[in-house]
Structure 1
């Protein structure tokens, strides 16, 4: 096993990776920006080094400095966490060129899934269902109008290189599409350096269901059941649960097998997630593949008993899975909520200093934290400050335990989305499992 790794990330995911490394006896190297000098992950790492000024472009995306630190400290591998450099083919190639193991899939697999257009082509070839749409970039907005009329409104205008809801908009008419085109194309260019746009049929009343897979370098691939991530705001997840309350055993197996087929078709290894849209008739369609660890991976760990970070490390080191699909258990029900430093009504970020921070504790409660009392939440990074995970023997018990945990979660000095999360847990539609992607807009925002 690796003796020392560098964690090319910050916040709660850096702390999460360090925790598993400590359990495996692996030394850790942390990195931090000037704004994160006192952050928890800096204190937890065996060594920590400054990488630059607060803006991510000058620090956490500073590939040359990160690799320089890795070489100086003798780190044999780099764990990228999620976000930042985790799906950056250039970074993965630079690690490879420096003789440092990138803890993730091959650069070819990252590239294959990095373009939503190219990934659609790959999935069609592998026999994985995709949403009706086109598999090439649009020439201009007028071609977009033509395609939209052929597919039928409503449609989803999407940036090929996008993510996090950026460059994405639902359009219900020619006028809406024309108005949306240039703005979303510009945002895509600004955030991803790629202004290619394409169109898919908008799946009405969809659920966002994703399947976690693990694959070793010998091609052994398993699925670790599914997570439902339909409770979103601005196309970004805020509540996730495993397993989905909507899937039955037959559909669960079909989606799992499709995810394995998708991964094998591109020679994938390490941890990855195939995201699907599921309509009200239980048809499912490939959405995208995340070639990294997901924010919501803890709920999969809770229902399977696996440590996904440990599995990533073992696979990257060259070890085989050592188990097959029939060995993957599914026990109980887990729910995760993301705690954001944001106004619960407007969802605008709320930076500032945390004057009080009390996270709930208990046998069935798990906290993944990036802050504590006295921590400063800056405007430089994603406003997610923590994740709260609970497990129950069944879904109702998990919801009840999450409600109790949220009542005992206290943060002062900044605004958080905890009141909104409490509203979600208490809502009769959520409790009934009616969790389509318009849930927040339909049931939560309208009451504010």
Structure 2
């Protein structure tokens, strides 16, 4: 009988327990597809006594997670501990140094240390696979690494955080404000007790930096991602977008050109004609545009024990078959070191929401600031005054340099007429 692929598993949370359940439930099918059985031989977690709904007594228990890297029977280390540093990266470094293959769902670690770990994997002739790190069970990494490998990818973008998408699509459906929907998302388990990692865009930025490297053959550059989240979006913004024929979504977007690598996570207005406008709930979706294949759409469940475990086990099947190559689809030393592109030179249309005092001359002041900065206004809507005397003004600009919009908002920030911070959202072309 063919020798099984033996797994040492670090982390028995939702995803780790899901991996064991998946291997138990679909073990025969997985063995047929992999060409040999895949079995867990050792595990490590914080609490040995916790009831996880699975039998872990059949596995070797290892108290020190780092020791899994040297487990005598393990062929592969599966890292599901999480975190960009600390035990997770120490385990992966040790496993690769010992010549073990590695599978991880840890987007933060890959975003911050991916290039170093890819070089270590290549030096050890070992796999470093991370399909589960982006979009859960959606095979977007495999799609970029393999399916689109013959193409020059011109742009990659998408809805990369299920928590934000749940909140925005719920605001859209029910007309409620952000704080109310966030509290509901926390009650339902879609948002963490401290949701800042998600709602401020950091989680999506980790994933975007991974996708950009794969799409464009560039060195991972998380520190160059411009990040803005969704916590300041109002129900009124959602309503204005709908009236204009758009939906609001948090997008991660990257492209590479002669002036460098552009990466940004930011709320966008998406036209109803675009498929991403119809992605609701906690679903993730990624669009990649190739010069020969055209537009590719990857969509599905972006988190949860089943989808993420499915991606982890898919990576294990590849390793069992002996199907793996450089983690970023080309040798790490062949990845280009691209400078960060200047966002100010990008040309696009924009949505700007201002909350101002209800007094004579405010609209003229806004128009003058836009004119002086070189911003051409396509439409301007003023709503009725709120009980506190403030007025919402929504502006859509004609296409122009982003630097001009930034300059106009900087001029208006010093105005006594302005109440609170402006909201600037980019408009995605169809």
User: Which TM bucket (shorter chain)?
Assistant: 0.3 to 0.5
**Which of structures 1 and 2 has the bigger CA Rg?**
2
TM-score where L is the length of structure 1: 0.31
TM-score where L is the length of structure 2: 0.32
